[in-house]
Structures are given as C-alpha cells and as structure tokens.
C-alpha cells in the first residue's frame, strides 16, 4: 500500500481476487490466503465448496486417486 498498491483494491476486494484474475490458470488455494492472514472466517468449513476444494487439493498428496461414493442417501 505504501508503494502505490492501493490502486489494485479499487478493482479487487483482496489480493486473492486480484491474483486469480491476473493468473486464472494457476490453481490457487483459498485456504492458504486465509492461513497467511491468520484466520478462517466462521462458517468457512460449513460451505461444501470449501470442503470440496480442500479435499481436491490434498487428495493427490495423500495418494487418493478415486473417491467411492457411499450407498447411503
């Protein structure tokens, strides 16, 4: 901000949104931005999209190649 970065925030609400717009091909991890800020907002993990994104990110690291769906409804 001290070096003129405030202009970015007239177009984007936060640095994550700016980076996603500039580099859409990069697989950004939203949770990393929250961790850097030292916070995850209340209800973050209740959102199924956040759960899915996280699980898709860690699956390859854990060697998970396929998810078997439960027969329970």
Q: What does the pLDDT look like over 20-71, one tens digit per residue?
A: 899 999 988 877 777 666 666 667 788 888 888 888 888 888 898 887 776 6
pLDDT, residue 36, reads 66
For 59, half-sphere exposure in the C-beta direction (CA atoms, 13 angstrom radius) is 12
What is the residue range of 15's domain?
5-62
73: in domain: no
Residue 50 belongs to a domain? yes
Rounded to two decimals, the pTM is 0.47
Task: Specify if 67 maps to a domain.
Answer: no
Whole-number Å distance between alpha carbons of 60 and 69: 18
Q: Does residue 70 belong to any structural domain of this protein? A: no
Separation of alpha carbons 33 and 37, rounded Å: 6
Decide if 47 is inside a domain: yes
| Residue 69 forms part of a structural domain | no
- The residue ranking higher by pLDDT, 41 or 13, is 13
Asked if residue 16 is part of any domain, the answer here is yes
Q: Residue 45: its pLDDT value, please? A: 80
Q: Is residue 71 part of a domain?
A: no
């Amino acid at each position: 901000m001290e070096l003129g970065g405030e202009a970015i925030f007239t177009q984007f609400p936060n640095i994550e949104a700016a980076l996603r717009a500039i580099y859409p091909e990069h697989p950004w991890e939203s949770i990393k931005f929250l961790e850097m800020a030292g916070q995850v907002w209340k209800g973050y993990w209740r959102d199924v999209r956040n759960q899915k994104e996280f699980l898709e990110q860690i699956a390859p690291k854990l060697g998970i190649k396929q998810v078997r769906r439960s027969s329970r409804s």
